[in-house]
A and B are shown apart, each in its own frame.
Chain A
Amino acid sequence: MKKDKLKKYALRFGIAFLIALALLTYFSTTIDNILLPQVKVTEVTYGTIDGEQSRDDRYLLPLSAVDATGNTGTVFVAKTDENNKTTVSEVTVDIKNSDDLYYEVTSDNIYSGMEVVYSTSKSIANGDRVHIVEEE
């Protein structure tokens, strides 16, 4: 009698366990995206604040994208791989100029068209996976 109960519970628990795992697997991408830091990105644009030509390659980045300390700063560049997973890497930039909206920077690791993070829901670090939120 006791063993029959055990049998019943084992079967029930087994079915419940498999159903739970099936649901977790089915919604794994959704759950993963919800739990990842939600970031907003913008494209790096080539140019200068005053519109004049410069001898070196200069880029314009939003103020919120750069964590500035003096004349240098760091930005997070978002890269999406072939599996559609996005990771961020930290890049150092030299700040040359700024106004109310942009920093004018130079860097060997930045080029026009790259996506930099300018807003994030949680703090992020180099190599972290993130989920890019589309601009409304």
Chain B
Amino acid sequence: MSHEVEILLVDDSPEDVELTIRALRRNKIANEIQVAEDGAEALDFLFCRGVHKDRSPDRPPRLVLLDLKLPKVDGLAVLRAIREDERTKTVPVVILTSSKQQRDVIEGYNLGVNAYAQKPVDFEQFGEAIRQIGMFWMLINQAPPPKVHEAGKAQGA
């Protein structure tokens, strides 16, 4: 497992995690995935704290799949922290959640989320949604060049 983490999946439901990873894998998206089961763990990973203190913050994931209803620190708070930190503020974040409530959607976009998707109940639709998200963000989307992160780090230091 020497690959760099490219996708951070933040979800407290092991079933959703398993179904999501399966959908990604079945669609040939083989990027390294890190799972965080609550908001605090996600922040620890992103900012290299706690169990992730040995990780380099210069290498943020290429995509964060973020659930909203999370233990400890909720998804919107995680999003806010990501956007407020120079090292992570350009990381693409896709909210993938059960909630389609308008205020969550509005708040998500206000905080600078890149996309907002509801987890479909239907397995086929769920698989299709995950496939499209993975394909777009991992293959089609042009990520910001690494020097943006470096510049960010320099400013943040």
- The answer to whether A and B interact is no
Interface residues in chain B, defined as those with a beta carbon under 8 Å from any beta carbon in chain A: none
